[in-house]
Amino acid sequence: MVKHDGGRIGIAAALVRSAFLVNAVYAESAREYGITSQQGQLLCVLMAKPYGMGELGATLRLAKSSLTGLVDRTERNGLVERRPDPQDTRAVRVALTRRGGRIAEEFYTETCRRIEALTAGFAPAERDALAALLGRVVLDNKVPAVFLGPGEEDAGDRGN
């Protein structure tokens, strides 16, 4: 049985329900761009730099077969391409195509706008406090950089 405490919910419920809300906004935005949520996530990751398949699988936390299928489908849509890895002739790197880069930028900008609108009623100090606390949760739990904040750069080399 769920107990209500004057409109307050516990940390577990708050985090799970906020993740559900953000995922719903993300999925709606993706649909409007003709992509799946997973393809949107892939495009956002690749905005930082091209990735090798192993590195990409670890970042997205996907099994090899799931990642291969995701990259195959996204490649068929002309949004990503496989390129030879300059460091390892046996490997490939996945990169955005020109069209993929354009869609990734538009999708990212629109998704940020929609997610930020969720806190439109907050005072600037409240937004800053929420960002700081959630940022700590993300960093303390070593969440991969699957969605960078505005002005934030991936630690990896953009040139690869």
146 to 2, 90, 100, 153: CA distances (angstroms): 33, 26, 16, 11
Note if the pTM is more than 0.75: yes
CA separation for the pair 153, 93 (Å, rounded): 19
- β-partners of residue 92 are 84
Question: pLDDT tens across 92-102, in order?
Answer: 999 999 999 99
How large a percentage of the chain has pLDDT more than 90? Answer: 78
The domains of the chain, with CATH numbers, are 11-140 (1.10.10.10)
Other beta carbons within 10 Å of 71: 23
Question: pLDDT tens across 24-41, in order?
Answer: 999 999 999 999 999 999
Strands 88-96, 51-52: pairing is antiparallel
- In this predicted structure, the answer to whether residue 58 has a pLDDT above a threshold of 60 is yes
Are the CB atoms for 74 and 45 separated by under 8 Å? no
Q: Using alpha carbons, select from 59, 44, 43, 56 the residue that is nearest to residue 85.
A: 56
- In this predicted structure, the answer to whether residue 5 has a pLDDT above a threshold of 70 is no
Query: Cα-flanking dihedrals φ and ψ of residue 123, to 5°?
Result: -70, 155
- β-partners of residue 80 are 96
Q: What angle do CA 93, 66, 101 make, to 5 degrees?
A: 45
CA separation for the pair 95, 118 (Å, rounded): 31
